[in-house]
Each structure stands twice: as structure tokens, then as C-alpha cells.
Amino acid sequence: MARKGLKACTKCNYITHDDFCPICQHETSENIRGLLIILDPVNSEVAKIAQKDIKGKYALSVK
């Protein structure tokens, strides 16, 4: 069985394998660039700048 590729939400950029984002339920796209991993959104300056409050993997750009 073939493994599905990574996709990212077109709204919040959350990376998943699903066709719809588990966070905001928007569609996902395979056309992604860059990777941002948030481990501690409460204490991370990068998470604050990126406006991410849920830990996980995010694409820097999604089309």
C-alpha cells in the first residue's frame, strides 16, 4: 500500500497526512515549502512571531 504524502492546511499551515486539517477543518495542499516545528508554543518567541499556539509541524508556505 502506498503511503500518502505530507500536506499542509491552506489556512493555518499545520502539516498532516489528511485531506482536511485536524485543527481548523480547512482543505490541505501538497504544495508546501519550508518547515517550522513548534515544541513549546507558550515559551517560544518563534511561535509568538508565527502566531502559533498549538505544538506541531507547520509549513512556512502553502499554495
Could you tell me which residues are annotated as the binding site for Zn(2+)? 9, 12, 21, 24
Which residues are part of a known binding site? 9, 12, 21, 24
Contact 49, 31 (CB under 8 A): no
Phi-psi region of 34 (alpha: psi -120 to 50; beta: other; left: phi over 0): left
- Single out the residue of 33, 30, 31, 36 nearest to residue 50, CA to CA: 36
